[in-house]
Amino acid sequence: MEAGRNKDQIIVGISQGDYNGIGYEVILKTFSDKRMFEFSTNVLYGSQDITNFYLKNLNLPNYSLNMVKDTSRLPSNKLNIIAGHEKNLIVEFGKSTKKAGEMAFWSLEKAVDDLKNRKINVLVTAPINKDNIQSEKFRFAGHTDYLGKAFDVDKYLMLMVQQNLRIGVITGHIPLKDVAESISIELIFQKIKVLNRSLEYDFGIRKPKIALLGLNPHASDNSLIGKEEEEIIIPAIKKAQKEGLLIYGPFAADGFFASENYKNFDGILAMYHDQGLIPFKTLAFKDGVNFTAGLPVVRTSPAHGTAYEIAGKNIASSVSFRQAVYLGIEIFKNRKEYDEISRNPLPSALKKINQKMIKDEDASNLSDENNDKGGISFSSLA
């Protein structure tokens, strides 16, 4: 076993994103805190030259780095780097370049390949530029759709997470003019099921409560402003309710967030991107996380983008990226625990029964002691 490596420690793989944005800055700031190495073994799919460039730019001397060829030997007390073969890469702060897009895809593809082969446990993706990454191999609107294709999954969900606030979107990165014709009873029903499963499997919530937002202003005011609520959204809700899911709505989005009704639900589904992400980023931009629900693997990302406008200024906050690492680890552990319980339901049930018997016996003994001393028994209070 490698020095400083706990064999049970979770391995987090990190794709570098666009190196002209703030990706390297938030990654390196995150792992400049030595406490991060207590939670996971971490490996960046990136470039040694670019890493060293950013370390100098960020004034982070004596940084613990370890260059490796693959994941076979990964000490946990350093940030490991698996580098590509590209040399003489030039960082151009805040600029979209073809080479940055190519390297972002190389990093993502390499990390996903290791994720498929279980060489890493969690993938945390730094922000990409959705334009310069486009190629023959990458024709997607973003990470979420690419990962769905990579893992042969068509029922997935972009879920924005900050503690108990979890907002998913029915339609993702599509033009606003296409939203109304894209939603259907079946699509909404599928997204409800994906979210419900994720809340149970990934977040350990039993019988989660889900809120569904309407499409039109005021959720159409009983069909005065559009028919989608009556013809599509409400039937989808009823279909999910027949399967025993706790789904409610449709809610008018403005009043739902203004009244803080969102706090009463474990998960929320918005009809389109900005309907969900504007309130989410208003409430949780600093430490929000993007999680892809419905995949057989765990992938998280910071809630922000490349932030070209502040690249190279050493003012980017690493909080969101750090939270993405934390959440990825937490979800991986939750899934492992859920799977163990599902495989061995009897031992788990017996454990709960034994715990209850011990509590009951302790209460009984305490009651007997009180009776012996002339005190009031628990039974007399019933």
For 48-76, what is each residue's pLDDT tens digit?
Answer: 999 999 999 999 878 889 999 999 989 99
Q: What is the pLDDT of residue 358?
A: 60
**Mind listing the pLDDT tens digit for each residue in 256-310?**
999 999 999 999 999 999 999 999 999 998 999 999 999 999 999 999 999 999 9
**pLDDT score of 222:** 86
How sure is the predictor about 86, in pLDDT bands with cuts at 50, 70 and 90?
Answer: confident
Query: Comparing 44 with 368, which gets the higher pLDDT?
Result: 44
Contact 315, 307 (CB under 8 A): no
Q: What is the mean pLDDT of residues 166-184?
A: 94
pTM: 0.86
Phi, psi of 188 (to 5 degrees): -65, -40
Mean pLDDT to the nearest integer, 120-132: 97
Stretch 17-27: mean pLDDT, rounded?
A: 98
Domain chopping of the chain, boundaries: 1-153+295-345, 155-290
* Mean pLDDT over each residue of the chain, to the nearest integer: 90
Residue 359: per-residue pLDDT = 56
Say yes or no: do domains 1-153+295-345 and 155-290 share a fold: yes
In tens, the pLDDT along 337-350 reads: 999 888 876 655 55
Among 74-78, 108-112, 239-243, name the one with the lowest average pLDDT: 74-78
List Cβ neighbours of 191 (8 Å cut-off, separation of 6 or more). 157, 168, 170, 269
Q: pLDDT over 70 for what percent of the chain?
A: 88
CATH tag for 1-153+295-345 (out of 3.30.1330.10, 1.20.1370.10, 3.40.718.10, 3.40.50.170): 3.40.718.10
Residue pointed to by tokens 């570098």: 16
Above 50 in pLDDT, residue 47?
yes
pLDDT for the residue 376:
31
Q: What mean pLDDT do residues 117-139 have? A: 96
Fold of 155-290: Isopropylmalate Dehydrogenase (3.40.718)
**Which pLDDT band, with edges at 50, 70 and 90, does 367 fall under?**
very low
At residue 341, the pLDDT reads 87
pLDDT of residue 200: 97
Give the Cβ contact number of residue 180 at 10 Å: 16
